[in-house]
């Protein structure tokens, strides 16, 4: 009986360079053989990230039976062109080798954060004090960040004569608009101008919902008066009209816990009702990093099938609240679909600390340092501190400024400036437990704007040169041309050859090992 081809393991080819090959072999050897066969195509260049399409085409040979080619995450070669060249799918893998198993889906799920079911209403709290043009600009910016509905907030005792003009201007720009006011007159004017939603109506003002096409957000007469909300909901249900129900989230020490229970009660009484939660009473009125607060509230919304949130940004510490809610809703949606904990769905909800901050051990960095034959400084971070090394030195410490006397850059201002900035960044990463990559910004998740990156373009060479009379001027090194300067002959090996070539004295028995920070260690 012939073998069923569908049960054959996928044959992956990992393209790499000399410095990363040993670490890649160790991580690849942990992949389940029933799912993945693998080979390593060592292009012979020292730094895999510097490989170009031309280098890979010329120096990489694929073994028979290969089904997919995986490039290093920081390699800037074009995957589409290489797919045409090899006749196989070519993908860019994770930046760090230790993330390879999770990237391949071995965490039990494939990371997909494209979906969500939570609508974000972003309020412009001082709209009545802004011009229509300024309101439009603000609304477009909020929409760019992830808001679905732009909420125009009215202020008590403040006239809003340009309300209609503002609603019409925003609608003409394609925005979905809500009006939020305590004034029934302003709500009426906003609805007649074309607003899509009205915040907020209670059982006494609910008649407006029957006069316009705007969807009302229903609230109780008082936060603790759920029967009044029930009566308003029942009236809308009887009429067969759409609505959102908001039991009102209250701040900590002013009814927070009781208000959470009211959301649960409303969901139990009205299982099919569309609901809203105004998260600003917690994010704005709690001086704590808002990302974690937002994640928790988004998790509550996910459990209770609340599909609308009203957010505000007044305080400086909530300046990224739209992006934070957008990230949280995607993580919670994916986790709920998988019936899983919200863990392993990317790093967007991690700002101060990383789950796995140190991707290399001190021993692995020492091994890389021993291979360096040039004066360029490398900086890495491991659990024991900051590592700085080139062909002449390898120093470890925890104080960025303490390295200065040993780096021989006292007369080289440009280089000293560069190293000082990188070492300060490395110290921040080490102290907080964040990932550090030389020449890359720290990743602050949804709490900070990420730099746009072209995955096919090389970065401009920096100033990681050694000081001295023979050093080239800053910015004159072409890293792409230098990639093959000391290249070894290329080599493609399979899993069996990789294990056979491993130093058994230095590598534990793979049958009794586990992967820790990218390194195989013996089981306890």
* Integer Cα distance of 125 and 138 in angstroms: 11
* Integer Cα distance of 364 and 69 in angstroms: 25
Tokens of 411: 């007369």
In b/e form, how buried is each residue of 146-163, taking b as 16+ CB within 10 angstroms?
Answer: bbbbbbbbbeeeeebeeb
Q: What is the pLDDT of residues 215-258, one digit of tens each?
A: 999 999 999 999 999 999 999 999 999 999 999 999 999 999 99
* Integer Cα distance of 128 and 135 in angstroms: 9
Q: What is the pLDDT of residues 454-466, one digit of tens each?
A: 555 555 555 444 4
Could you give the 3-state DSSP secondary structure of residue 349? coil
**Long-range contacts of the stretch 249-256 (C-beta < 8 A, 24+):** 249/277, 249/278, 249/279, 249/281, 249/282, 249/297, 250/223, 250/281, 251/281, 251/282, 251/285, 251/286, 252/282, 252/285, 252/286, 255/223, 255/224, 256/282
Least confident of 48-52, 113-117, 418-422: 48-52
Residue 248 or 101, more confident: 248
Least confident of 47-56, 126-135, 174-183, 462-471: 462-471
What pLDDT sits at residue 107?
A: 67
Q: Does domain 119-338 sit in CATH 2.40.30.10?
A: no
What pLDDT sits at residue 179?
A: 97
Contact 254, 285 (CB under 8 A): no
What pLDDT sits at residue 277?
A: 98
* Integer Cα distance of 410 and 255 in angstroms: 60
Residues 6+ positions from 48 with CB-CB distance below 8 Å: 15, 16, 17, 19, 20, 72, 74, 75
Q: DSSP assignment of 412-477, as one string?
A: -HHHHHHHHHHHHHHHHHHHHT----TTS----GGGSPPPP--TTSPPPP-S-PPPSTTSPPTT--
What pLDDT sits at residue 485?
A: 67
Q: What is the pTM of this model?
A: 0.79
User: At 4, is the pLDDT very low, low, confident or very high (cuts 50, 70, 90)?
Assistant: low
Q: What is the pLDDT of residues 317-335, one digit of tens each?
A: 999 999 999 999 999 999 9
pLDDT over threshold 60, residue 520: no
* Phi, then psi, of 382 in degrees rounded to 5: -130, 180
Could you give the 3-state DSSP secondary structure of residue 341? coil
Chain centroid offset of residue 18 CA: 30
Q: What is the pLDDT of residues 170-194, one digit of tens each?
A: 999 999 999 999 899 999 999 999 9
Could you tell me which of 300, 205, 307, 322 has the C-alpha nearest to residue 249?
A: 300
Q: Which residue has the tokens 């305590």?
A: 182
pLDDT over threshold 90, residue 503: no
What pLDDT sits at residue 497?
A: 78
Which residues on neighbouring strands pair with residue 39, listed in sequence order?
13, 494
Least confident of 12-26, 178-192, 417-431: 12-26
Q: Span 258-278, mean pLDDT?
A: 97
Least confident of 54-68, 339-353, 383-397, 501-515: 501-515
Q: Is residue 290 classed exposed, middle or buried when 0-12, 13-18 and 19+ CB atoms within 10 A define those classes?
A: buried
Q: What is the pLDDT of residues 347-381, one digit of tens each?
A: 899 999 998 899 999 999 999 999 898 999 999 99
pLDDT over threshold 60, residue 99: yes
Give domain limits for the chain: 10-104, 119-338, 362-432
* Integer Cα distance of 414 and 464 in angstroms: 10
* Integer Cα distance of 98 and 259 in angstroms: 43
Contact 271, 237 (CB under 8 A): no
Mean pLDDT over the full length of the chain: 87
pLDDT over threshold 50, residue 506: no
Angle between helices 132-145 and 321-337 (to 10 degrees): 30
**How many C-alpha atoms does 269 have within 13 Å on its Cβ side?**
17
What pLDDT sits at residue 8?
A: 82
**Cα dihedral value 488, 491, 497, 502, nearest 10:** 20
What pLDDT sits at residue 519?
A: 35
Q: What is the pLDDT of residues 131-154, one digit of tens each?
A: 999 999 999 999 999 999 999 998
Where in 21-148 does DSSP place strands (E)?
A: 36-42, 68-71, 90-92, 119-124
Rg over alpha carbons for the chain, rounded to the nearest Å, is 29
pLDDT over threshold 80, residue 515: no
The Cβ of residue 345 has, within 10 Å, a number of other Cβ atoms equal to 22
What pLDDT sits at residue 511?
A: 36
Residue 288 or 451, more confident: 288
Query: What whole-number percentage of the chain has pLDDT above 90?
Result: 69
Least confident of 62-76, 181-195, 498-512: 498-512
Could you tell me which of 434, 229, 190, 446 has the C-alpha nearest to residue 318?
A: 446
Q: Span 281-304, mean pLDDT?
A: 97
What pLDDT sits at residue 472?
A: 44
Strand-strand pairing, 197-201 and 378-382: unpaired
């Amino acid at each position: 009986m012939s073998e069923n081809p569908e049960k054959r393991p996928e044959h992956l080819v990992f393209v790499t360079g000399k410095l990363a090959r040993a670490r890649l072999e160790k991580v690849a050897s942990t992949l389940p053989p029933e799912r993945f066969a693998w080979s390593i195509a060592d292009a012979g260049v020292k730094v895999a990230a510097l490989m170009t399409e031309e280098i890979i085409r010329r120096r990489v040979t694929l073994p028979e039976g290969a089904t997919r080619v995986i490039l290093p995450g920081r390699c800037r070669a074009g995957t589409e062109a290489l797919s045409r060249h090899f006749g196989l799918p070519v993908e860019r893998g994770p930046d760090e080798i230790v993330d390879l198993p999770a990237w391949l889906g071995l965490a039990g799920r494939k990371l997909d954060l494209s979906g969500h079911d939570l609508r974000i209403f972003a309020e412009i709290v001082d709209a009545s004090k802004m011009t229509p043009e300024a309101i439009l600009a603000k609304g477009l910016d909020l929409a760019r960040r992830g808001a679905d509905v732009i909420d125009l907030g009215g202020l008590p005792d403040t006239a809003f004569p340009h309300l209609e003009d503002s609603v019409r201007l925003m609608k003409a720009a394609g925005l979905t608009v809500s009006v939020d006011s305590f004034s029934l007159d302003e709500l009426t004017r906003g609805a007649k101008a074309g607003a899509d939603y009205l915040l907020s109506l209670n059982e006494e003002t609910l008649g407006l919902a029957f006069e316009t096409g705007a969807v009302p957000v229903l609230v109780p007469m008082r936060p603790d008066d759920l029967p009044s909300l029930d009566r308003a909901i029942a009236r809308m249900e009887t009429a067969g009209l759409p609505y959102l129900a908001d039991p009102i989230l209250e701040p900590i020490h002013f009814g927070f816990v009781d208000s959470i229970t009211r959301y649960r009660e409303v969901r139990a009484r009205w299982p099919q009702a569309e609901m809203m939660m105004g998260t600003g009473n917690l994010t704005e009125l709690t001086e704590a990093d808002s990302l974690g607060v937002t994640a928790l509230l988004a998790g509550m919304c996910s459990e209770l099938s609340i599909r609308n949130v009203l957010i505000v940004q007044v305080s400086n510490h909530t300046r990224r609240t739209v992006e934070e809610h957008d990230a949280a809703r995607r993580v919670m949606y994916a986790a709920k679909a998988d019936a899983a904990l919200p863990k392993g769905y990317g790093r967007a909800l991690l700002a101060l600390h990383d789950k796995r901050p140190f991707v290399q051990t001190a021993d692995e960095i020492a091994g890389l340092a021993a291979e360096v034959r040039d004066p360029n400084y490398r900086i890495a971070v491991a659990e024991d501190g900051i590592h700085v090394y080139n062909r002449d030195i390898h120093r470890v410490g925890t104080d960025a400024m303490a390295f200065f006397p040993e780096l021989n850059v006292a007369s080289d201002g440009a280089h000293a400036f560069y190293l000082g900035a990188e070492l300060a960044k490395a110290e921040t990463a080490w102290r907080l437990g964040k990932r550090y990559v030389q020449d890359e910004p720290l990743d602050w998740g949804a709490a900070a704007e990420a730099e746009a990156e072209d995955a096919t373009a090389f970065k401009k060479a920096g100033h990681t040169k050694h000081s001295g009379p023979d050093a080239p001027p800053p910015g004159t090194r072409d890293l792409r041309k230098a990639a093959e300067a000391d290249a070894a002959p290329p080599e493609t090996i399979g899993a069996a050859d990789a294990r056979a070539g491993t130093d058994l004295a230095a590598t534990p028995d793979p049958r009794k090992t586990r992967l820790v920070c990218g390194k195989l260690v013996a089981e306890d």
